[in-house]
A and B are shown apart, each in its own frame.
Chain A
Amino acid sequence: SQQGEEDPQALSIQEGENATMNCSYKTSINNLQWYRQNSGRGLVHLILIRSNEREKHSGRLRVTLDTSKKSSSLLITASRAADTASYFCATDLIYNQGGKLIFGQGTELSVKP
């Protein structure tokens, strides 16, 4: 299996609800980063969480990291239609000198007004 797998692959919710996306990985990491991508557009950096951190917040975003389970979750609270996008986790592996990121397949989030 692959480094950085998100689930679910697709998530459809109503505006105002919370959205939770999960990411699992296989190899120990320096950090894990979450990105948003609107269809056909660039990758927007959302948040970085380091291997020694357990939780980080940024506005309506909350990211957790459980290194014992090799998993992370991204929670978007009070979702808006504008949150509709694909969300990716990307891992920076612990033995990686150059900092390359390994991306998962992403979760497609649809927020209905």
Chain B
Amino acid sequence: EPEVTQTPSHQVTQMGQEVILRCVPISNHLYFYWYRQILGQKVEFLVSFYNNEISEKSEIFDDQFSVERPDGSNFTLKIRSTKLEDSAMYFCASRTPRAEQYFGPGTRLTVT
């Protein structure tokens, strides 16, 4: 059964560094999402992406964040200059035509 994959599983970076989190959504899905979950907190929406553009973004998704679908299969989240408070689990998701969202296993980002 197809699934959403994410790499890396764990990323450690220093404050101020750029990170790119990668996702491969399920191939025939059209909507893609990034969410994050700070340890012990609820899952929060960051951004949705459809037809090669952002369809919605949250207040969290400021100018430090960007998303891209560079080659028709990968879907990336870039954080330009990481802060300590960016430490979280980042989940990619893609949506079936029936609106079910399937999540990847997540990337644990640790900013030191």
Interface residues of A (CB under 8 A from B): 30-31, 33, 35, 40-45, 48, 88, 90, 92, 96-106
Q: Does B65 sit at the interface, judged by CB under 8 A?
A: no
Residues of A within 8 A of B99 (CB): 30-31, 48, 92, 99
Is chain A's binding surface mostly helix, strand, loop or mixed? strand
A99 touches B106 (CB 8 A): no
Q: Which of B11-19, B41-49, B67-75, B80-88 contacts A (4 or more CB under 8 A)?
A: B41-49
Q: How many residue-residue contacts, CB under 8 A, span A and B?
A: 63
Interface residues on B, range: 20 to 34
A49 to B35, CA, bound (A): 21
A48 touches B42 (CB 8 A): no
Contact with A along B86-112 (1 / 0, CB 8 A): 000101010100111111111010000
A33 touches B101 (CB 8 A): yes
Q: Which of B31, B48, B91, B101 contacts A42 (CB 8 A)?
A: B91
Within the complex, what minimum Cβ distance (angstroms) separates A94 from chain B? 12
B43 touches A97 (CB 8 A): no
Within the complex, what minimum Cβ distance (angstroms) separates B84 from chain A? 20
Residues of B within 8 A of A31 (CB): 99
A98 touches B55 (CB 8 A): yes
Given contacts A33-B101, A99-B31, A103-B42, contact A43 B55 (CB under 8 A): no
| Additional pairs, 14, CB under 8 Å, beyond known A31-B99, A43-B91, A98-B55 | A33-B101, A40-B108, A42-B103, A43-B93, A45-B102, A48-B98, A88-B43, A92-B99, A97-B55, A98-B56, A99-B99, A100-B56, A101-B43, A102-B45
Given contacts A31-B99, A43-B91, A45-B103, contact A100 B48 (CB under 8 A): yes
